[in-house]
Structure 1
Amino acid sequence: MITMKDIIRDGHPTLRKIAEEVQLPPSQEDQKILESLHEFITNSQDPKIAEEFGLRPGIGLAAPQINVSKRMIAVYVKDENDKLYSHMLFNPKIISHSVEKSYLTAGEGCLSVDQAIPGYVPRYARITVKAYNIDGKEIKLRLKGLPAIVFQHEIDHLNGKMFYDYIDETNPFKTIENATPIER
């Protein structure tokens, strides 16, 4: 089971690397890693398990965050209608996105970043993601709102980007043109 001690922190070189594609069909080892990412985020949202193991709550986790430089992410998040988006994905790629942007009014956080970094992070309001599920089958997801933001955050980890790279340092709460604010 992954715990906070397995999650590498800001400044670790793996977080700035472009992760390798996962060979398909996925190996049992890659499937186990992907399952462990998903297990962490589901456990981290269970107050009893989170307290017992000292887990910070998370809604997404990418393999580079556990020092595995491979293109795999896990997401476990509900949208504004309480619909659950629970996914374990290999080689996710944004294949289309809206012109409109969105951002979280509370800003973004990250399990690899121990301090709060205030500011708005501009994201695409809607995205389509192509990826491969745990069995190596191709899937497409159309996302908007919080799930779209989470997927962009996790896919950024696969490309060596951190959420704070997008924050305007001189004016972190600058109004983002053509953007919808999302409360969380």
Structure 2
Amino acid sequence: MITMKDIVREGNPILNKVAEEVPLPASASDKETLEEMLQYLKNSQDEEVSSKYGLRPGVGLAAPQIGLSKRMIAVHFDDLDDKHYSYGLFNPKIVSHSVEKAYLSSGEGCLSVDREIPGYVPRYARITVKAVDLDGNEVKLRLRGYAAIVFQHEIDHLNGVMFYDYINPENPFEAPENAKPIE
């Protein structure tokens, strides 16, 4: 079971590295790791389990955050339209995106970052992601709003990019150009 002690914190060089593609079909051990990552998210959102094990709630987790430089992400959340997303994905790739941007008005957080980092993080408002799921199926997801932001945050981890790299250092709360806030 993955717990907070397994989560790599900022400052660890693995978080700034581009992760390796996962050879497909995925090995049993890569599948097991990805299933454990997804289980962490489910556990972290369960009040009883999260308080018992001291888990910080998360909606997404990328393999570099548990010290593995592999292109694997897990997401588990409901977006603002109550659509449920629960995926373990190998080699996710953004294949297209909107010109329009969006940002979370509350800012973003990260399981690998133990401090508050205030500011707006500009993201694409809509993206299309291609990946391979835990069952070995190719999936193509058209995402918008909150869901698009979560996926971009996790895919950035695979490219060695942290959410705060996007925050305007001079004016963290300046609304990004051509961007709408998501409450």
TM score, norm. by length of structure 1: 0.98
Amino acid at match of 2:152: Q
Question: 1:80 & 1:117 partners in 2: Cα distance?
Answer: 23
For residues 115-151 of structure 1, the C-alpha deviation after alignment (integer angstroms, 9 at most, x for no partner) is 0100000000000000001122211000001110000
Q: Distance in 1 between matches of 2:130 and 2:122?
A: 21
Give a deviation string over 1:53-97, Cα, whole Å, max 9, x none.
Answer: 000000000000000000000001111111111111000000000
Write out aligned runs for 1:16-55 (5 A): 16-55=16-55
Aligned residues: 183
Percent identity of paired positions between Structure 1 and Structure 2: 67
1:103 aligns with 2:103: yes
- Give the letter aligned to residue 158 of structure 1: L
Is 1:156 the counterpart of 2:127? The answer is no
* Aligned residue in 1 for 2:74: 74
Gaps of 5+ in 2: none
Structure 1 stretches of at least 4 aligned residues deviating more than 4 Å after TM superposition: none
- 2:3 counterpart residue number: 3
**Which residue does the alignment assign to 1:56?**
56
CA RMSD of aligned residues (A): 0.5
Partner of 2:152: helix, strand, or coil? helix
Instruction: Output the CA distance in 1 between the equivalents of 2:37 and 2:147.
Output: 17
Q: Distance in 1 between matches of 2:106 and 2:81?
A: 19
1:173 maps to which residue? Answer: 173
Gaps spanning 5+ residues in structure 1: where? none
How far apart are the structure 1 equivalents of 2:146 and 2:29? 30
Q: Secondary structure at the match of 1:23?
A: coil
Deviation at residue 170 of structure 1 after TM alignment: 0.8
